[in-house]
């Protein structure tokens, strides 16, 4: 298992949302590229970026910030947020992004998502964000009738790079991830599963690793607020 530190961007700044609420923001760094450099110095190999402005508007917004981070060339980067057409996918891949995360458009237009996974095989990750097991889209502002496991089972038949699962009620709360659902998802599909949301301590990392089948874990607020050392998390995950 490996650790992926997270940078969520609004207005070019590194922030975190509490439970996906755009009105509950914590600003951690005005320089996301500088923050990425700190993560690399601590031993990170991957970086998780969410363009929260893009997620809400339905198109990438903070592309220039993403480009500045990518140009440093120190980290493999996965990017999500508002990516809902082929041009946006290609634009990010042209910047050197390792994989593009698609959530809303995958759920609302599965046929299109299937075509994109075929065209960009191994470069597309599926982002599944959920409240109480039900999928949420459009920057977590709309709930869908589908369940995580139902949708994941179909998506796993496609050549996707990974499924990144976030429990929105846990995200930014530093109260531990949804171990039960994360484990159920990992058991249900054969593609790599990335856990996200609520990871707070080394014990959370160790417990995720013990579950088995979890490929990676995304960690955000706990690193920024010092309840979890990125270097220690990376060591524990190995």
First to last CA, the chain: 6
Predicted confidence band of residue 19 (pLDDT cuts 50, 70, 90)? low
- Of 151, 92, 145, 111, which Cα lies nearest the Cα of 127? 151
In the numeric block, the tokens 């109480």 are attached to 132
The overall average pLDDT reported for the chain is 89
Measured distance CA(122)–CA(16) in Å, rounded: 28
Residue-wise pLDDT tens digits, 34-68: 999 999 999 999 999 999 999 888 899 999 999 99
**Residue 133 neighbours by CB under 8 Å, 6+ apart:** 147, 148, 149, 181
Helix (H, G, I), strand (E, B) or coil at 87: helix
At residue 143, the pLDDT reads 64
At residue 148, the pLDDT reads 87
Measured distance CA(16)–CA(7) in Å, rounded: 8
Higher pLDDT, 92 or 176: 92
- Of 57, 61, 50, which Cα lies nearest the Cα of 11? 61
Catalytic residues: 8, 129
> All domains of the chain, ordered by start, with CATH?
2-237 (3.20.20.70)
Residue-wise pLDDT tens digits, 72-89: 989 999 999 999 999 999
Higher pLDDT, 56 or 229: 229
- Of 128, 116, 53, 49, which Cα lies nearest the Cα of 85? 116
Q: How do beta strands 193-196 and 76-80 pair?
A: unpaired
Hey, what are 188's tokens?
């249900």
Residue-wise pLDDT tens digits, 122-173: 999 999 988 766 686 655 556 656 788 989 999 999 999 999 998 876 555 5
- Of 170, 219, 209, 218, which Cα lies nearest the Cα of 186? 209
Measured distance CA(140)–CA(22) in Å, rounded: 10
Beta carbons of 101 and 78 less than 8 angstroms apart: yes
Beta carbons of 158 and 113 less than 8 angstroms apart: yes
Q: At what angle do helices 110-119 and 148-155 cross, to 10 degrees?
A: 40
Strand partners, 194: 164, 216
pTM (2 decimals)? 0.90
At residue 84, the pLDDT reads 94
Share of the chain above pLDDT 90, in %: 70
What is the CA 225 to chain-centroid distance, rounded? Answer: 19
Measured between alpha carbons, how far is residue 136 from residues 55, 104, 108, 145, 148 in Å? 12, 8, 11, 9, 10
The average pLDDT across 109-125 equals 97
**Residue 23 neighbours by CB under 8 Å, 6+ apart:** none
At residue 172, the pLDDT reads 52
* DSSP classification of residue 139: T
């Amino acid at each position: 298992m490996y650790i992926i530190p997270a940078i969520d961007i609004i207005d070019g700044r590194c922030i975190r949302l509490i439970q996906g609420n755009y009105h509950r923001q914590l600003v951690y760094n005005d320089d996301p590229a500088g923050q990425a450099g700190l993560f690399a110095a601590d031993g990170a190999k991957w970086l998780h970026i969410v363009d929260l402005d893009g997620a809400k508007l339905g198109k990438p917004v903070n592309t220039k910030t993403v480009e500045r981070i990518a140009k440093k060339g120190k980290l493999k980067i996965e990017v999500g947020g508002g990516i809902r057409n082929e041009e946006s996918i290609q634009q990010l891949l042209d910047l050197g992004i390792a994989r593009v995360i698609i959530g809303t458009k995958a759920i609302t237009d599965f046929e299109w998502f299937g075509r994109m996974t075929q065209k960009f095989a191994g470069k597309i990750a599926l982002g599944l964000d959920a409240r109480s097991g039900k999928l949420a889209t459009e920057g977590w502002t709309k709930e869908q009738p589908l369940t995580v496991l139902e949708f994941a089972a179909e998506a796993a038949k496609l050549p996707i790079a990974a499924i990144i699962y976030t429990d929105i009620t846990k995200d930014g709360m530093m109260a531990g991830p949804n171990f039960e659902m994360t484990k159920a998802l990992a058991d249900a599909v054969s593609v790599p599963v990335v856990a996200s949301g609520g990871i707070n301590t080394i014990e959370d990392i160790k417990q995720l690793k013990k579950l088995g089948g979890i490929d990676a874990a995304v960690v955000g607020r706990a690193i920024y607020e010092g309840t979890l050392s990125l270097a220690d998390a990376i060591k524990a995950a190995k």
